[in-house]
Amino acid sequence: MNNLYARDIINFGNVPIGISAFESVMPDYNFIQNKICSMEHNGQLIRLRKGLYVQPPSVTGKVISLELVANHIYSPSYVTGLYALRYYGLIPELVYTVTSATTGLSKKFVNKLGTFEYRRFASDYYHIGIRIQDGDGYSFLIASPEKALCDLICMTSHLNLRYMRETMTYLEEDLRFDMDAFFGMDKSVFEQCAQVGAKKTMIETLIKLIERNG
């Protein structure tokens, strides 16, 4: 491939690249799809899903952000649930599936980087508590710690947290949550989620715990 084209593609760094981006940097190049397949075969690209790729660290010198990748694989979406709680250091367990919230259909994608799951939420609930997190030359969308916990509760089947004792057991034993951080959380986010989200009673129990220990 022409060195100019190669340099332009490398300039994307660890940001996922769609077909239109390849076309913009290689306007005179015929059979772009064939070239993309060749680059993937040679380890210059990692396929994320049909029509979407990212360059490996061996090419760019930059670490791939799974959070940024998750935002791009399926949108609109933001990273949430166990993965977000682990990202913030609120739970000790390693999390291997990147879970995201979306207003679209629930979906699941598996590629060389891992498993990416998307869970559907209603629009009025979805837009609460989303943060723009800055990385090394890029930004991605992720739930605030409070919203990530609410999302996890809403996504977990057969969870029944009607009482404070049950909720404490869930946080301390099931999640091994950083309880000092929990008691310092912004209860206004929980209040917003309780107003429009599912599992209102369970989220209200989180509020009661914070108020009791505040």
| pLDDT tens digits, one per residue of 88-135 | 999 999 999 999 999 999 999 999 999 999 999 999 999 999 999 999
Distance from C-alpha of 145 to C-alpha of 94, rounded to nearest angstrom: 17
- Considering the domain architecture, whether residues 16 and 44 belong to the same structural domain is answered as yes
Which among 22, 37, 59 is the end of a domain? 59
- Considering the domain architecture, whether residues 121 and 47 belong to the same structural domain is answered as no
- Considering the domain architecture, whether residues 88 and 173 belong to the same structural domain is answered as yes
- Considering the domain architecture, whether residues 112 and 33 belong to the same structural domain is answered as no
Which among 59, 88, 105 is the end of a domain? 59
Given a contact cutoff of 8 angstroms between Cβ atoms, the answer to whether 148 and 179 are in contact is no
Does position 1 have pLDDT exceeding 50, yes or no? no
- Considering the domain architecture, whether residues 99 and 197 belong to the same structural domain is answered as yes
What pLDDT is recorded for position 5? Answer: 55
- Considering the domain architecture, whether residues 34 and 74 belong to the same structural domain is answered as no
Does position 84 have pLDDT exceeding 70, yes or no? yes
Strand, coil or helix: 50: coil
pLDDT of 135-178, one tens digit each?
988 999 999 999 999 999 999 999 989 899 999 999 999 999 99
- CB neighbours (10 Å) of residue 38? 13
Among the listed residues 1, 149, 15, 121, the one whose alpha carbon sits nearest the alpha carbon of residue 71 = 15
- Considering the domain architecture, whether residues 71 and 109 belong to the same structural domain is answered as yes
What pLDDT is recorded for position 85? Answer: 98
- Considering the domain architecture, whether residues 152 and 55 belong to the same structural domain is answered as no
- Considering the domain architecture, whether residues 54 and 84 belong to the same structural domain is answered as no
- Considering the domain architecture, whether residues 77 and 179 belong to the same structural domain is answered as yes
What's the pTM value of the predicted model, to 2 decimals?
A: 0.93
Q: How many domains does the chain have?
A: 2
Q: What CATH number has the domain bearing residue 42?
A: 1.10.10
- Considering the domain architecture, whether residues 40 and 70 belong to the same structural domain is answered as no
- Considering the domain architecture, whether residues 55 and 76 belong to the same structural domain is answered as no
Domain interval for residue 24: 3-59
Residue 145, both tokens = 């710690």
